Amino acid sequence: MSQDGYVIDQMISAKAIAARVEALGAEITEAFRDTDRLVVVGLLRGSFVFIADLIREIGVPCEVDFLEASSYGNETTSTREVRVLKDLRGTIGGRDVLVVEDIVDTGHTISKVMEMLRARAPRRIECCAMLDKPSRREVDVKARWTGFEIPDEFVVGYGLDYAQNHRNLPFIGTVRFTDPQK
Ligand code: 5GP
């Protein structure tokens, strides 16, 4: 797929994604089989396609909530601050919670979000990430479930964007720049 100054090469097909999501759903169902009502928390915006498919493969009763967090680099202290732009509508105290993330890259976002949600005293909290780029990790964090481990490449599609574009691609692809100006 060719765009202005870049090309998107397919990395993971829609078929491979669907098969993996089905397997993840089965594992999550098994892990939460004693739960009355699971709270599935999607991190906006990148996880919205994944969470929509994943919940349909989860066989325990669940409700869905969303959280939007944004991470900002601080060049002087080389730390990252994670700010909540949109908080959950519901409460999670005493509940079983599954946090659904699009991609774990440096790990700052998910580790801060998990720390913040753990402070609300859920009964149990786990994380499922569609993608993991372990080579980029700066914080020692790992999702309990990961769809695919990928190399250090910028990816789009299946909810993930490049400048807000390409979230609607049914596959996951890498962005390769063809224009040296960009
Ligand atoms: P982290 O805090 O783990 O470094 O960053 C996680 C966030 O960075 C993800 O939720 C995602 O929004 C963004 N991100 C990291 N890698 C990629 C990528 O390859 N493609 C896109 N579209 N977003 C990415």
Instruction: Kindly give the distance from the C-alpha atom of residue 38 to the centroid of ligand 1, in angstroms, as a whole number.
Output: 26
In the numeric block, which tokens belong to residue 103? 């991609």
Does residue 112 sit within a domain? yes
Instruction: Give the H/E segment covering residue 108.
Output: helix 108-118
CATH number at residue 87: 3.40.50.2020
**pLDDT at residue 66, as a whole number:** 98
The reply to whether 159 falls in a domain is no
CA of 33 to the centre of ligand 1 (A): 31
Residues recorded for the chain:
182
- How many domains are there within the chain? 1
| 103, part of any domain | yes
CA nearest 57: which of 27, 83, 87, 79?
A: 27
Q: How far apart are CA 155 and CA 175, in angstroms?
A: 6
How are beta strands 145-149 and 124-132 bridged, if at all? parallel
Ligand 1 centroid to residue 154 C-alpha, Å = 8
Whether ligand 1 lies within 6 angstroms of the CB of 48 is answered as no
Tens of pLDDT along the chain (182 residues) come to: 777 899 999 999 999 999 999 999 999 999 999 999 999 999 999 999 999 999 999 999 999 999 999 877 665 555 678 899 999 999 999 999 999 999 999 999 999 999 999 999 999 999 999 999 999 999 999 999 999 999 999 999 999 999 999 999 999 999 999 976 65
Q: Does any domain span residue 168?
A: no
pLDDT at 75: 55
Does residue 9 form part of some domain? Answer: no
- Residue numbers of the domain that contains 90: 14-152
Structure token digits, residue 16: 């491979």
pLDDT of residue 21: 98
List residues with catalytic annotation. Answer: 105
Looking at the domain assignment, is residue 5 inside a domain? no
Give residue 114's pLDDT.
Answer: 97
Establish if 165 belongs to a structural domain. Answer: no
pLDDT value, residue 73:
67
Count Cβ atoms within 10 A of the Cβ of residue 77 and give its class: 0-12 exposed, 13-18 middle, 19 or more buried. exposed
What span, in angstroms and rounded, lies between the C-alpha atoms of 44 and 101? 8
Tell me if 161 CB under 6 Å of ligand 1: yes
**Would you say residue 167 lies in a domain?**
no
Q: CA 181 to CA 95: how far, in whole Å? A: 50
